[in-house]
Amino acid sequence: MAFTGSSLRIQGDDNLHSMLVGTVMRKIKSRTWKKQRYFKLQEDCMTIWYKSKKAGKAHSTFSVSDLEAVREGHQSEVLLSIADEFPPDRCFTLVFRGRRGNLDLVAESADEAESWVRGMRKLMENLENMGERERLDQWIGDWFKKADKNKDGRMNFKETQDLLKMMNVDMNEHHAHRLFTMADKSQTGTLEDDEFVLFYKMLTQRDDVMRVFQDYSGDGQKLSQADLEDFLREEQLETDDVQRHATQLIELYEPSDAAKQLNAMTFDGFLMYFGSAEGSIQDPRWRGLFQDLGQPLCHYFISSSHNTYLMEDQLRGQSSVEGYIRALTRGCRCVEVDCWDGANGEPIVYHGHTFTSKILFKDVVLAVGKYAFKASEYPVILSIENHCNIEQQKVMAHHLSHILGSALLKTTLEGKSLARLPSPEDLKGKILVKAKKIGGLEQSLGGLTEDPLTGEVSDEDEAAEIDDDNSHSFRRKTKKSKQRLSKELSDCVVYCKSVHFSSFKHSRIHQKFYEVSSFTESKGRKQLRDAGGEFVHHNSRQLSRVYPSGFRTDSSNFSPQEMWNAGCQIVALNFQTAGEAMDLNDGLFRQNGGCGYILKPDFMRDPERRFNPETPQTRDTYRPLVLHIQVISGQQLPKVNIKEGSIVDPLVRVEIHGVPLDQNKQETRYIENNGFNPVWYDTLRFTVHVPELAMVRFVVEDYDKTSKNDFVGQYTLPFGCVQQGYRHIHLLSRDGTSIPPASLFVHTRITELE
């Protein structure tokens, strides 16, 4: 069988062998819901199958590729809740990509748990190390197994036709039969797996790529080293040591040793190059850390989450420590903690005055301590909304200090200026608290502190925020209500003191560099409309946080782009809600090593340069660019409509998100009944006035003339990361997870505006 690539690797692996035999484990959903299930690894070494011991035929499966991590012990709320019942060495959690819930399991013995944990990690590692070609073979093999209904390892024409439908191909029966006969080398009237691979390759013949290959190939059979260099120079617009790069590409992607000997690339190698990171639209050079991280914190956009504790919406959603773990492991660097008085003197976290469930503040701090620096070593900000009494504030301060230890920043950094914020580099591995503070840094340094009993801060801004954030009519604003602050909690605040914003003029005269103001999205928009240039100028010296309005009870998001245009650093989004806003956030922060900090353009950092996002033409370095995108074709787009026999009618929309003048979207035609290999060759053209702030989003939709188009896939990246030339765009699901092998093939050019 050609499809057992991964099973070759399990020879001699005892863990995988016992997984293939199968194990009975308990699936745990809560303290009271614990049911036995039989779990088994399938022969493909890619699928886990499980079923209830007593239920009839019902079973479930998931793929190893759906998994993000395996956690050992009591590392989820559900398993913590039964910690008294099952020891940690029998428990583990499977964490899925995207927004799918975890699977919490308890094995019958510690050895069995360890065997599954190790086996799963081995399978995940195998998958990581698989080449493009193996992945494709694996994907074809998965389809083959799905379609081979009678499990005899071969497929007749009828089964093949059904499979084409499942794969989103609407094909002329005559054409399909011709390919079927050509692939049936053994002339048995059925395709065995190798023959099926051949059939698939004929079916996916990439004429679009072949055209490019033929254009540059001297003999129509291969690209010589010189042909490949010409292609890289003329089409991909590469300038750095093209000769060396061509040699590298042949070495990396050419499957034929004979061609390698000749220093040449065959069509197969050319296809492999296009499918790789180097052939992708996102420039791989900007994926790692490449920016200067030594500038003051206010010079960066910071990946930030709102209502981090919620897994769903703001009214009824479940509060969960998992929300913090997910945000932090996605590189989020600012999380929100909404604290209220709890029972037994322990503060709790939840969305006040609503029906969302409650979690302990202590558990949140434990999770932050454990996961803060898994994805990035750069600082994490805890944005604390404090509604607790003095006693519980002291408990909060105690938990922060004891659990976080030396990671919690409690004093100013030695040798750092007291006139500006430290940098992400200075603060590596540190956790900062953003909250109210009694007095300022100057007093605490001079040893002067106010009497803690009169440590009162005006609470008018807090009340206004709550009024807006929860949009409850019974919380009317009270002017100048006073909130008592505990000195212990106040001392945990160093560089991020929360203050009320009154006006840009007031800030210019009075605001200290370590003071942070918060704006609801509507307040932020108003400032942007009334005084965009002032807002940008303010943000060159201060940190600003913007969060979604309280009317978004469904936890929807506003577009972060408009606030980035004003230079706001902490634009807090509901990470739990998929959609355009999170696509933009993921797109911006995917570069620079996913570290959660992106340096703002120089004209937003320099207070002397007056940039106004409303009138970008007036800046001194105004140089608009034109982006030309030819959308050529799509490959293996996933099915969105589960209806039997329905096939996607795909269209591609390209959106530019940026300053108001740059906001733009254009679409290709839709192609009827072809999600498998649609071809457009449609050209779209955009003028981009502030390329440094622009984001490009590619969206594929299933056209529907009677109702809203269905979403198929998307990919979003900063304009500055776009590679020119012929490129593939590897599409992501609504959740931001990859959906291989779905892709678009495009040609891009960036020119100056004539």
Indicate which residues carry an active-site annotation: 306, 351
* Residues 6 or more apart in contact with residue 511 via CB below 8 angstroms: 499, 517, 541, 542
Sign of the four-CA dihedral 158, 160, 163, 168: negative
Backbone conformation region of residue 435, classed left if phi is above 0, alpha if psi is from -120 to 50, else beta:
beta
The DSSP letter of residue 255 is -
Read out DSSP for 464-493? HHHHHHH--TT----TT-EEE--HHHHTT-
Calculate the CA dihedral of residues 549, 553, 554, 560 and round it to 10 degrees: 10
Q: Are 477 and 503 in contact (CB under 8 A)?
A: no
- The Cα–Cα gap between 17 and 25 comes to 17
Which residues partner with 651 through β-bridges? 701
- The Cα–Cα gap between 533 and 619 comes to 11
Backbone conformation region of residue 43, classed left if phi is above 0, alpha if psi is from -120 to 50, else beta:
alpha
- The Cα–Cα gap between 652 and 292 comes to 35
The CA distances from residue 585 to 220, 527, 562, 588, 737, in Å, are: 44, 22, 12, 5, 14
φ and ψ of 521, to 5 deg:
-55, -40
The DSSP letter of residue 311 is S
Q: First-to-last CA distance in the chain? A: 58
Q: Are 251 and 685 in contact (CB under 8 A)?
A: no
Q: Which residue in 257, 260, 254 sits closest to 274, CA to CA?
A: 254
- The Cα–Cα gap between 723 and 236 comes to 8
Tell how far CA 394 is from the center of its chain: 36
- The Cα–Cα gap between 398 and 278 comes to 50
The CA distances from residue 396 to 325, 429, 484, 516, 681, in Å, are: 20, 21, 14, 21, 60
The DSSP letter of residue 590 is T
In SS3 terms, 9-53 reads as HHCCCHHHHHHHHCEEEEEECCCCCEEEEEEEECCCCCEEEEEEC
- The Cα–Cα gap between 578 and 737 comes to 11
